Amino acid sequence: MKKILEGKTIVVTGTARGIGREMAAVFAGHGANVFAHARRQNDEHTARCRELESEYSVRVLPVYFDLTDPEQIKNAVKEIRGYKLTIDGLVNNAGVTNNSLFQMTGMDEVRNQMEANFFGPYLLTQYISKLMVRGKKGSIVGISSTAALDGNSGKSAYGASKAALLAMTLSISEELAASGIRANVICPGVTDTAMLETMPDYIMDIQKKATFLGTVGKPLDIANAAAYLLSDYASYITGQVIRVDGGVTQYEKRQ
């Protein structure tokens, strides 16, 4: 298999689990060096990075910071700069979610999701994009959600935060184009991560039937889409929103 990211260096947030964990492995497998972010120091995550380095003969460098803490973000970017590697890509993957009805969602929870899903990535993207501008190239991928597009019940705060990330990414796709930097958005549908473990079986069945393909997504599906957008194969793709959701339809219409 051709390594479509060979020689590139990618910063990925939220790689300790789920979609981000899969991204770190896929990108390394495609020949990229990876700055693999996690929120807290984690021996298991650090060991996983070492394993990927050994398996794929690339650098997989753990970097730890809280996306809700501007000072930690600033210090992490200094750490990244210290490695003297040209940054070719950024994936804003990390995020938090909390399902609750609009009238039952407290403002502290709204602020928490906006901090982690939008304000933190906004600041990080400002810093990392400046590094990309120096090299006159780069690709930024925002991992939003179909909840940002579809207005799902119980996801007013989460959907709003992911819609903000989407809007930011589309705006910078125009602003940064002159510097050779592309920016695109992936909107995953329901994806088989730890967040689904508490979902009742009957809800999972509804979710599967609500797609053309009749199943939920896998982290690998999202990671592969991101790898393509980061690669030179997508050199003429920018300012786009790509749904990776199995083809969402309305369950009621399929009965």
Instruction: Give the residue numbers annotated as catalytic, written as ranges.
Output: 158
Tell me the CB-side half-sphere exposure of residue 66, using CA atoms within 13 A.
7
Sequence-distant (6+) residues with CB within 8 A of 52 are 24, 25, 28, 34, 58, 60
Spatial distance between the Cα atoms of 184 and 159, rounded to a whole number of angstroms? 18
Residue 213 DSSP SS3: coil
Spatial distance between the Cα atoms of 26 and 91, rounded to a whole number of angstroms? 13
Q: What radius of gyration, in Å, describes the C-alpha atoms of the chain?
A: 18
